[in-house]
Structure 1
Amino acid sequence: MESTRIRLVSGDGQVFEVKRIAVSRSSTIMEALRLRVKSNDDSPLVLNGIDGETLEKVIEYCDRHYVPFSDLADEAVFNSLKAFDADFVNVDETTFFNLIDAAAYLKIKSLMDLTCATLSKKFKGKNYKEIGEVIENWKQYAD
């Protein structure tokens, strides 16, 4: 029987116990768990490509976004989720770029959509030189 909670370990060694259903948005995690079930492996899943601080934020996002589809029809729930998203991406540049990288690494489409839409808004009204500076900053964080 599959556990309802799993343990994730960030690249810097931080351990998180999370609800399996919440992180089911991540194709990367779900594929790794499928492979582990076949081999009866219940050890923590190590995610070397993401640091603990960023993984904690991603888990917060996944926990908040695990809303049954039927509940999204409720306008108050929908508006609350939109407000959460707006606040979630209102972070410093380093954290923001780490979230984009984490969304790609973990293959969380909704988080990738949110971060890319936010990045697009950051580019709006900027000339090519200003956009280039943002991209250069991102490259620095990736190194």
Structure 2
Amino acid sequence: MAAEASASAAVEAPKTVVLKSSDGEEFEVESVVAIQSEMIKNMIEDGCAESSVPLPNVVGSVLAKVVEYWNRHGSRKADGAAEGEAKELTEWEKEFVKVEKEELFELINAANFLSTKPLLDLCCQAVADTIKDMAVEDVRDYFGIESDFTPEEEAKIRHDISWAFE
């Protein structure tokens, strides 16, 4: 009987997990909240989260935003929107992603690294909403992309497929 108790204790997930950002900040997060990250969930299930979990790709300020998102959404699952279907953002979500472009891109990278799909979808939706009505040149500026075409080549393309630029 004692062996069964110790075996179940070894499998039991910790109540909290400590996440350590790349710049050394530590965040103690309830396991039930942190498992919104597939990566953290797998680490907990594999017994790899008993001490702190190093996150070398996430700085403290961004990890704080990720934890804020997790805490807001608790252990809830996605709202049921079909895969690929756009959903209306809540006021909280709109405010959450009202950050500088660089921070939004860092959030996207963190959500991807941590395998937190709802957060990744939210941040990507914010980028899509930002660029959807931009001209091609503005989208290039937004992403820091230089045109591969000479002005003459671009003029010819714009002439040949003018419908795409309406």
**Shorter-chain TM-score: what band?**
0.7 to 0.9
Select the structure with the greater relative contact order (CA < 8 A; seq sep ≥ 6). 1
Spell out, residue by residue over 1:9-39, the C-alpha distance to the aligned partner (whole angstroms, 9 max, x if none).
Answer: 001111110011111111111122223x1x6
Aligned AA for 1:14? E
Partner of 2:19: 8
Of 29, 54, 57 in structure 1, the residue corresponding to residue 62 of structure 2 is 54
Partner of 2:42: 31
Task: Return 5+ residue gaps in structure 1 as ranges.
Answer: 73-80, 138-143
* Paired positions, count: 125
User: Helix, strand or coil for the counterpart of 1:43?
Assistant: coil
Please give the residue correspondences for 1:56-75 in structure 2 after superposition, counting only pairs within 5 Å: 56-66=64-74, 68=76
Structure 1 residue ranges, 4+ long, deviating more than 4 angstroms after superposition? none
* Cα distance in 1 between the residues matched to 2:67 and 2:103: 14
* Cα distance in 2 between the residues matched to 1:4 and 1:24: 11
User: Helix, strand or coil for the counterpart of 1:125?
Assistant: coil
Identity rate, percent: 28
Structure with bigger helix share is: 1
TM value normalised by structure 2: 0.69
Q: Contact 2:32/2:75 (CA < 8 Å) preserved in 1?
A: no
Q: Comparing 94-103 with 5-14, which one deviates more in the overlay?
A: 94-103
Aligned AA for 2:45? R
Rg comparison, structure with higher value: 2
Alignment RMSD (CA, Å): 2.1
* Cα distance in 1 between the residues matched to 2:45 and 2:58: 20
* Cα distance in 2 between the residues matched to 1:117 and 1:86: 10
* Cα distance in 2 between the residues matched to 1:68 and 1:50: 24
